Amino acid sequence: MVSIAKKILQDHLKEGKYELGQEIGIRIDHTLTQDATGTMCYLAFEAMGLDKVKTELSVSIVDHNTLQTDFKNPDDHRYLQSVAAKYGVQFSRPGNGICHQVFLERFARPGKTLIGSDSHTPTAGGMGAIAIGAGGLDVAVAMGGGPFYLKTPKIVGIKLTGSLPDYVAAKDVILDLLRRMTFKVGVGKILEYYGPGVKTLSVPERATITNMGAETGATTSIFPSDEITKDFLKWQKREDQWVELPEGTDSDYDEIIEINLSELEPLVAQPHSPGNVVPLSDLYGKKVDQVAIGSCTNSSLKDLITVAALLKGRKIHQDTVLGISPGSRQVLMELAKKGHLADAITAGARILESACGPCIGMGFAPKTDAVAVRTFNRNFFGRTGTKSANAYLVSPEVAVAAAVFGEFTDPNKLGSYPKIEIPSEIEIDDSMVLPPSSKPDEVAIVRGPNIAPLPEFQPLSDEFQFKVLIKTEDDITTDDIMPAGAKILPLRSNLPEISKYVFEQIDPTFPDRALENKEKGGGILIGGDNYGQGSSREHAALAPMYLGIKTVLTKSFARIHRDNLVNFGILPLTFSDNADYDKINAGDILEIKGVRKTLEDNTPITIRNITQNFDIKTSYDFSDRERQILLAGGKLTYTVASS
């Protein structure tokens, strides 16, 4: 017997040999895009000149840019709808829900492979799928029938025993794992759950855990497909799509981490990292200004029925505001029909749209210096939309207690844990999911004035002489590089405009300095450890490329961002000796010679610091395919030339 993850990967193997650390190419069954990354993804797909997607299923879901303050977001939605109709993609309209919740309910299938242009795509691992977050360009290539490439991962068995006590939730399981693993420990690994504790968790609870597995740096996370999975699919009237994927045993894993669910307690991730986890009891008495419940992590029907039951007959604290974002239209409809929505509204909750919303700073921003308690998956600096706010990540149960009492407190103060009842049958209404056109040749692509064409990608130069435009610390996120929020997200399909906000939260002068330097040879970015963690947003690579960035030199990279840099022709290098990081100053002039031959020969690249007169030895781990992509100037030009 082999692990579930290994079996699925081997069954989908198209290129390479399944050996630990070696690059493999796998066949992709399903793809998923959302609107913040989807426009660039489909512009790239159009550039490939194909008539139709070649996957079993491709889905485009609008959930990020739903705050429509002008024409930009609705124009993008119409573009995405028309592209989906023309090229064979299912289109989930604005208001139908958050991409990962909708996909879990209506599309995810055990044993399938999925890549999505969102880092929380592993949510579908709760259904027994290999679901991986990737850059939009990787997704576009997969839609065109190309393999998805990754290094053969270690399979880490997460052995669950016991069962969750009252007021301890699935969110606490993944927060406990994050407390143990932090961001970098999961890199190059798949987290596979097994053990007797698995049977105590519903599919939505499993999906909460796999969703936030992304915060460990893991490639993905996966649960078995068992009778609980079958019941969920039957509930969704998709029972015919169930296949059994039995859980592994101790001998199937490269490493094992054991978690006794019975011993867990409520946990909190403090600012500004999901890995900064402490027991809830450490924060008792701390005043709370805002509570937000929802996101792709905790917005299922089970989550929100529990929330409504805890709010019933209570009022939120006068100094605290509460917002609730149901994960999908399906969830919202069931809450309304069964009276749960009324319980939440009567308690004083504000009901927000079934969309990502405040998780990405798209509305419901907290007040100045707020303590914001959220059931989300990330609490990076500035992500709430209010830079001075501090965001804490918790379970829905802890969030309700904070909203009712106006402070961090023991949720047991709410009384006995409610016995909730999930409806045995729900209404399935897919009318907000539009199928592709039966006459694609008659579909015209709709392009608003905010949609700019992709830039031209030039082959990699042989020599660089560039200025160090910025030097960053460890754990720089893609939010730091390319912020989200209501002001910037609507510019996702307009590269010249969105590039004006690169590094805005760290150094607002960066874009102007980069553009001034672009014609003088371009720039280089110097980063610390785990550079580019967080969201899969490829704009964090694409916008710097537009500003003339040729190379990023760091101590280490987060997986998706490193791959995005390669995809857009930016050379990602790491220090051979991290002591050299301390020697480099912003403003230094650096030089690389003979880049093309060095890459072709797969030999180390040495960078000369002309300003300080010393050499910097660097390293890289490019596959043969990645070296060819870099030499071509990016994955799009490489793919078009190869087709």
- In three state form, how does the secondary structure of 275-341 look? CCEEEHHHHCCCECCEEEECCCCCCCHHHHHHHHHHHCCCCCCCCCEEEECCCEHHHHHHHHHCCHH
pLDDT at 519: 82
All residues at 6 or more sequence positions from 327 whose CB lies less than 8 Å from its CB, including other chains: 97, 98, 101, 102, 294, 295, 296, 299, 300, 303, 304, 354
- Whole-prediction pTM: 0.91
**Beta-carbon neighbour count of residue 246 at 10 Å?**
12
**Alpha-carbon distance 67 to 383, whole Å?**
16
Residue 295 has pLDDT above 80, yes or no: yes
Q: How far is CA 566 from the centre of its chain?
A: 19
**At 505, phi and psi to the nearest 5?**
-75, -20
Residue 362 has pLDDT above 90, yes or no: no
Coil, strand or helix at 69:
coil
Residue 182 has pLDDT above 70, yes or no: no
**Alpha-carbon distance 81 to 407, whole Å?**
44
pLDDT at 56: 97
**Alpha-carbon distance 352 to 364, whole Å?**
9
Residue 59 has pLDDT above 90, yes or no: yes
Helix (H) or strand (E) holding 350: strand 350-351
CA dihedral 493, 494, 497, 499 (to 10 degrees): 70
**Alpha-carbon distance 351 to 326, whole Å?**
8
**CATH homologous superfamily of domain 464-642?**
Aconitase, domain 4 (3.20.19.10)
Residue 6 has pLDDT above 70, yes or no: yes
Q: Are 531 and 556 in contact (CB under 8 A)?
A: yes
**CATH homologous superfamily of domain 267-412?**
Aconitase, domain 3 (3.30.499.10)
pLDDT at 1: 67
R_g (Cα) of the chain, nearest Å:
24
Beta bridge partners of residue 390, listed in sequence order: 371
Q: Are 564 and 541 in contact (CB under 8 A)?
A: yes
Residue 424 has pLDDT above 80, yes or no: yes
Helix (H) or strand (E) holding 582: helix 579-583
Q: How confident is the model at residue 181 (pLDDT cuts 50, 70, 90)?
A: confident
Residues with a known catalytic role: 63-64, 118, 378, 535, 537
300-337 pLDDT tens trace: 999 999 999 999 999 999 999 999 999 999 999 999 99
Calculate the average pLDDT of the chain: 94
Average pLDDT over residues 28-38: 94
pLDDT at 534: 83
pLDDT at 469: 95
Q: How confident is the model at residue 500 (pLDDT cuts 50, 70, 90)?
A: very high
pLDDT at 432: 97
Average pLDDT over residues 620-632: 93
**Alpha-carbon distance 45 to 179, whole Å?**
39
pLDDT at 361: 86
Pick from 387-401, 447-461, 557-571 the range whose average pLDDT is largest.
Answer: 387-401
Average pLDDT over residues 525-548: 91
92-139 pLDDT tens trace: 999 999 999 999 999 999 999 999 999 999 999 999 999 999 989 999
Domain ranges of the chain: 267-412, 464-642
Angle CA 208–163–309, to nearest 5: 60
| Nearest of 241, 322, 258, 313 to residue 289 by alpha carbon | 322
Q: How confident is the model at residue 62 (pLDDT cuts 50, 70, 90)?
A: very high
Between helices 203-212 and 301-311, what is the axis angle to 10°? 100
Q: How confident is the model at residue 183 (pLDDT cuts 50, 70, 90)?
A: low
Q: Are 477 and 535 in contact (CB under 8 A)?
A: yes
Query: Omega of the bond prior to 272 within 30 degrees of 0, cis?
Result: yes
Strands (E), 398-451: 433-434
Helix (H) or strand (E) holding 595: helix 595-601
Q: What percent of the chain has pLDDT over 90?
A: 84
DSSP 413: G
Strands (E), 399-492: 433-434, 464-471
Beta bridge partners of residue 292, listed in sequence order: 323, 374
